[in-house]
């Protein structure tokens, strides 16, 4: 049970929320397919008000006192949408997904790594957060996306090359993210892997494209050589890259690739993106961009050979 001090601090937080009436939890609730005791929800409410209210708001709508100054805005839990879970994009996360995000934080956001929240408090907070959206009363979490063993161990260079071809020639990652290859290379990769050579390129193919999302804001997909990836943790890069690629990013244009691509190709993409991350903030990334742009000057699709 939470300590008397924690309850006192939470009570003070509640008292400071002008016009806020706390929900009373006098009976267990079925959330995400499992029954949660009322005492757990009460404890979660107290801990949430202590640790989470400032950004996410007392109603869980992402409109806490600090929210107006935060970009990207805090998650609105009333939507029942989560980005970085190990489940197919758009489905509800498992408890361990939320715990991972809280413990690891999200790079480039105000969501810091909350190592200091006691496990019992965090477990209760996870259950309480579910009360903000009706989805948790009606649905269960999605099927867990489990990583298969990496088939490219010891063949990382081959994986990077395969991933580069897939990124530009099959998965069309460059429709949202920057391209990291010249027009001629993309033409060749798409022809090799699909039989249909790409000749339609967007004007700014070396930059990201703002995309609509289910969160009420447009999202700029990351440039892997410049941006800290939101949910990729230090020491867990390959594991996390596989998860994001395989699961997709819920509520955004990033699709679920698990089941659409062979496992070895998902891992190859993870290796390739990891190689781009390695170039972050290094001169090499800028040099490659200039090389691609120079190669594109005056480029035209090759004329098909005739007999």
Query: Is residue 6 very low, low, confident or very high in pLDDT (cuts 50, 70, 90)?
Result: very low
Domain count of the fold of the chain: 2
Write down which residue in 80, 108, 138 finishes a domain.
138
Q: Is residue 109 part of a domain?
A: yes
222, 292: one domain: yes
26 domain residue, yes or no: yes
Does any domain span residue 303?
no
In this structure, the answer to whether residues 123 and 189 fall within a common structural domain is: no
Same domain flag for 175 and 288: yes
Q: Decide which of 260 and 8 is more confident.
A: 260
Assign residue 280 the CATH number of its domain.
1.10.760.10
91 & 206 share domain: no
Residues 6+ apart with CB under 8 A from 245: 257, 266, 269, 270, 273
Provide CB contacts within 8 A for 98, sequence distance 6+: 82, 85, 126, 129
Residue numbers of the domain that contains 191: 156-296
- Confidence grade of residue 15 (pLDDT, cut at 50, 70, 90): very low
127-158 residue pLDDT tens: 999 999 999 999 999 999 999 999 999 999 99
Residue 307: its pLDDT value, please? 61
Based on the domain organization, do 161 and 130 belong to the same domain?
no
Residue 302 lies in a domain: no
Residue 172 lies in a domain: yes
Domain-terminating residue out of 111, 138, 165: 138
Residue 306, pLDDT above cutoff 70: no
**Same domain? 134 vs 64:** yes
Question: For the packed helices 263-278 and 237-247, what is the interaxial angle rounded to 10 degrees?
Answer: 130
Residue 178 domain flag: yes
Task: Tell whether 122 and 220 lie within a shared domain.
Answer: no
Q: Over the stretch 284-295, which tens digit does the pLDDT of each residue have?
A: 999 999 999 999
284 lies in the same domain as 198: yes
Is residue 114 domain-shared with residue 218, that is, in the same domain? Answer: no
pTM score, whole prediction: 0.90
Q: How confident is the model at residue 18 (pLDDT cuts 50, 70, 90)?
A: low
Residue 306 counted as domain residue? no
Instruction: Name every residue whose Cβ is closer than 8 Å to that of residue 44 and which is 6 or more positions away in sequence.
Output: 121, 124, 125, 126, 127, 128, 129
pLDDT digits (tens, 9 = 90+) for 166-216: 999 999 999 999 999 999 999 999 999 999 999 999 999 999 999 999 998
Residue 117 has pLDDT above 60, yes or no: yes
């Amino acid at each position: 049970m939470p300590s008397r001090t924690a309850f006192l601090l939470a009570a003070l937080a509640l008292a400071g929320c002008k016009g806020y009436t706390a929900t009373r939890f006098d009976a267990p609730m079925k959330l995400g397919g499992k029954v949660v005791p009322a005492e757990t929800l009460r404890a979660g409410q107290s801990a949430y008000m202590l640790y989470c209210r400032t950004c996410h708001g007392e109603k869980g709508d992402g409109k806490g006192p600090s929210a107006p100054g935060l970009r990207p805005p805090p998650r609105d839990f009333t939507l029942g949408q989560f980005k970085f879970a190990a489940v197919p994009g758009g489905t509800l996360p498992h408890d361990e997904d939320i715990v991972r995000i809280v413990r690891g934080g999200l790079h480039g956001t105000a969501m810091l790594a909350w190592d200091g929240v006691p496990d019992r408090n965090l477990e209760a907070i996870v259950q309480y957060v579910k009360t903000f959206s009706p989805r948790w009363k009606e649905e269960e979490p999605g099927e867990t996306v489990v990583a298969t063993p990496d088939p490219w161990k010891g063949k990382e260079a081959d994986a990077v090359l395969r991933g580069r071809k897939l990124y530009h020639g099959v998965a069309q990652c460059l429709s949202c993210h920057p391209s990291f290859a010249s027009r001629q290379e993309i033409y060749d990769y798409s022809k090799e892997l699909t039989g249909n050579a790409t000749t339609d390129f967007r004007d700014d193919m070396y930059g990201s494209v703002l995309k609509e999302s289910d969160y009420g804001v447009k999202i700029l997909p990351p440039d892997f050589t410049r941006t800290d990836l939101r949910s990729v943790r230090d020491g867990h890069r390959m594991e996390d890259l596989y998860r994001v690629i395989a699961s997709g990013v819920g509520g955004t244009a990033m699709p679920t690739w698990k089941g659409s691509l062979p496992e070895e190709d998902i891992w190859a993409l993870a290796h390739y993106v990891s190689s781009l991350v390695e170039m972050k903030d290094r001169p090499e990334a800028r040099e490659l961009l200039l090389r691609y742009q120079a190669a594109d000057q005056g480029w035209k699709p090759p004329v098909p050979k005739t007999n």
